[in-house]
Amino acid sequence: MTVPAPDEAHQAERAAQAATTAAAVRAVWGGVDPEDLEGSWLARAVLAAELIRAGQLAAASTADPWLRQTVGEGEGAVDPEAAVAATGDLGVPLLYPLLIALNRIRRGFSTTLSILSGAAFLEMVTRTLIADAGRIADMAGMIARPRVVSYVRVVHLPACARCVILAGREYTLSEGFERHPRCDCTVAPRRPDDTWELLSPQQLFEQMTPAQQRKAFGASGVDAIAEGADIAQVVNARLGMQTVTAYGREVHATKEGVTRRGLAGARLITGDPTARTAPRTGGRTKVVSEFTRRTRTGREQLVRLRGAKAPRLMPEEIYRQADGDRDHAIRLLKRNGYIV
């Protein structure tokens, strides 16, 4: 199920605003002089800044009318100017396209390709800044309405793997919105009497085209998910990906989830493919992480987290070792905590 119609219309309007502004700013960049990139861009950057600020203001200005329609009046009006100011100064973001283009020219790329690289970065920055201003205004407007008790993350396809696993997740209004550059995820307000539900990460995955799936999760990740692997386990494993020496050769492994409290760590430590946690002590554990924290009394305390000695294999390494044996691949996916 999707969000209510007013929320969908608001999201579509926000996306259109970002696309329109990005195209206008890219056109300004397209007018730079290839013979004088620095001088011509610094002269044109003022216009680009004005376009971005206008786009941000337009995006932030839609928050109150949308929330008024879908939730009702708030205890105060959202200040679009304040939302725009909260996104920060444009000086550095508008300098980066120039630096990228000049750097690529110094590395031997053609001037045309270098200018295109700067254009791509500028478009990404513009879309991100528009989305940020809009989301800041949306969050402020929701907080100003007591009927809104939380918000839900709405993911739009095509999307990256990190966003897909957060699809439909509900957050309190005190929790910030996590995003990456050019992230176009939006928020939907939640009231106590709302009954609508969004698609789960698995359902969203199933709606993706094969090309979108491979781009977001990788071929091995897609295969693992098709075998029943948990999407979040597959995606989170990539955060700590590394190459280690094990079983007499180099393997692709990950440091994520290998403590005794982690699903994969519990299974690798105990050897039980159904384990959820592992005992505190045992010869099959090692210190996998240590850090210092300050106690309530102000004393510094060294914390050592213990985890599995055996490496947690990445999905692609599992399929490489299974060598076409599907049953063996599934056993390894369970042992390494991908199939829960």
- Whether residues 33 and 128 share a domain: the answer is yes
The last residue of a domain, from among 147, 166, 184: 147
Give per-residue pLDDT as tens, 131-164: 999 999 999 999 999 889 999 888 888 888 989 9
Which residues are registered as beta bridge partners of 153? 187
Contact 233, 337 (CB under 8 A): yes
- Whether residues 120 and 232 share a domain: the answer is no
- Whether residues 254 and 128 share a domain: the answer is no
Say whether pLDDT at 8 is over 90. no
Say whether pLDDT at 3 is over 80. no
- For 244, the 3-state DSSP assignment is strand
Residue 109 resides in a domain: yes
pLDDT at 173: 83
Say whether pLDDT at 218 is over 60. yes
Q: How confident is the model at residue 283 (pLDDT cuts 50, 70, 90)?
A: low
The last residue of a domain, from among 147, 169, 201: 147
Structure tokens at 309: 């000695």
Residue 55 resides in a domain: yes
- Whether residues 243 and 140 share a domain: the answer is no
Residue 137 resides in a domain: yes
pLDDT at 309: 79
Mean of pLDDT over the chain: 88
Residues across the chain? 340
Q: 27 versus 200: which is more confidently predicted?
A: 27
Contact 278, 269 (CB under 8 A): yes
- Whether residues 127 and 43 share a domain: the answer is yes
Say whether pLDDT at 1 is over 60. no
Q: 185 versus 31: which is more confidently predicted?
A: 31
Residue 139 resides in a domain: yes
- Whether residues 142 and 32 share a domain: the answer is yes
The mean per-residue pLDDT over the stretch 78-105 comes to 94
- Whether residues 16 and 143 share a domain: the answer is yes
* CA angle centred on 254, ends 275 and 242, rounded to 5°: 165
The last residue of a domain, from among 91, 115, 147: 147
Give per-residue pLDDT as tens, 158-213: 888 989 998 888 888 888 788 887 787 888 898 888 888 888 899 999 999 999 99
Give per-residue pLDDT as tens, 240-261: 788 888 777 888 888 888 888 7
- Whether residues 140 and 46 share a domain: the answer is yes
State the total domains in the chain: 2
Q: 22 versus 185: which is more confidently predicted?
A: 22
Domain that holds residue 48: 5-147
- Whether residues 18 and 111 share a domain: the answer is yes
- Whether residues 136 and 14 share a domain: the answer is yes
- Whether residues 14 and 100 share a domain: the answer is yes
The mean per-residue pLDDT over the stretch 26-54 comes to 96
pTM of the model: 0.73
Residue 189 resides in a domain: no
* CA dihedral for 27, 29, 32, 35, sign (positive or negative): negative
Residue 325 resides in a domain: yes
- Whether residues 119 and 253 share a domain: the answer is no
Q: How confident is the model at residue 32 (pLDDT cuts 50, 70, 90)?
A: very high
The secondary element (H helix, E strand) that includes residue 186 is strand 186-190
Burial of 331 (0-12, 13-18, 19+ CB in 10 A): middle
CB neighbour list of residue 115: distance below 8 Å, 6 or more residues apart: 29, 32, 34, 37, 101
pLDDT at 24: 97
pLDDT at 23: 96
Structure tokens at 42: 């610094």
Residue 191 resides in a domain: no
Give per-residue pLDDT as tens, 262-280: 888 888 888 888 888 887 7
Residue 314 resides in a domain: yes
Residue percentage of the chain with pLDDT more than 70: 97
Give per-residue pLDDT as tens, 94-115: 999 999 999 999 999 999 999 9
Q: How confident is the model at residue 47 (pLDDT cuts 50, 70, 90)?
A: very high
